[in-house]
Structure 1
């Protein structure tokens, strides 16, 4: 049995969080570069889709723009939370990318957009922004 000083636990968790955020940052760079590569290889439409899908997840804030005055700083209005969380789950664009790859009729601009979406989610996680609680607060 190992005796662990209670004071070292927060330091260990902080190191783990830092490593996870670094991994998300690497993912953001990878998927961003992949989106740019797709745009270069497949033209303007792929580039536009990559940019649009990179921006789109944060447009979920607009769902509850009229409720924003009632929210505290850093809090998302409760009405927007389900949309925000759905648009910020990494599994969604990854599964759609797999579908694009395995189906015979895939479309390069859509794949580039999904790369942009995944880059957005990864960048958010790298910066410390994750999913929200039902009250609209950041989860730890």
Structure 2
């Protein structure tokens, strides 16, 4: 974890090759997201939009309570960490791949999960991720 005395943790110390891999995954998923939205339209659009912002909604529980820059309010950490686990949106994508009789049946929930995973991948590529119980970057 990168620490400074005055500002606390700002980004994780994830190795650069891993951050580049997250970035490549994020770029691929973003292109796939756009493809799915353009292809299916309809409910896929709000699903993709909700999936894109979902990992950041936990911050709303800590508004006005951040004691230091770079630190998330401790009460927001459990929800933040849950919404930033990559396995959950990946599991949604896998689950909905096998459900439904036609691509139109699964397009919205699948794209929701993919957009959620895209947001997580971009955050990880930029060095942001899960938090400690005190609200600092891990």
TM-score norm. by structure 2 comes to: 0.83
Report if aligned partners of 1:36, 1:47 keep a CA contact under 8 Å in 2. no
Q: Output aligned runs, 1:125-136, within 5 Å.
A: 125-136=124-135
Gaps of 5+ in 2: 1-12
Residue 19 (structure 2) aligns with: 21
Paired position in structure 1 for 2:89: 93
Instruction: Measure, in 2, the Cα distance between the counterparts of 1:122 and 1:114.
Output: 12
Task: Give the 5 Å matches for 1:74-89.
Answer: 74-89=70-85
Partners of 2:63 and 2:35 in 1: how far apart?
Answer: 35
Q: How big is the shift at 1:35?
A: 1.0
Q: TM-score, normalised by structure 1?
A: 0.82
> Helix, strand or coil for the counterpart of 1:113?
helix
State which structure, 1 or 2, has the greater radius of gyration over its C-alpha atoms.
Answer: 1
| In structure 2, C-alpha distance between the alignment counterparts of 1:43 and 1:75, rounded to whole Å | 38
More off after superposition, 96-105 vs 120-129: 96-105
CA distance in 1 between partners of 2:81 and 2:131 (Å)? 7
1:1-140 counterparts in 2 under 5 A? 17-68=15-66, 71-104=67-100, 106-139=105-138
- Encode CA deviations 1:4-28: one digit per residue, 9 max, x unaligned: xxxxxxxxxx8x8111000000110
In 1, distance between residues paired with 2:111 and 2:19?
Answer: 24
RMSD: 1.6
- Contiguous gaps of at least 5 residues in structure 1: 1-13
Following TM superposition, the consecutive aligned residue runs of length 4 or more in structure 1 with deviations greater than 4 angstroms are none
Aligned length: 123
- 3-state SS, counterpart of residue 122 of structure 1: helix
User: In the aligned structure 1, how far is the partner of 2:98 from the partner of 2:109?
Assistant: 14
After superposition, what is the alpha-carbon deviation per residue over 1:96-130, rounded to whole angstroms, capped at 9, x for unaligned?
11110112365211111111101000000000001
Look up the match of 2:3.
none
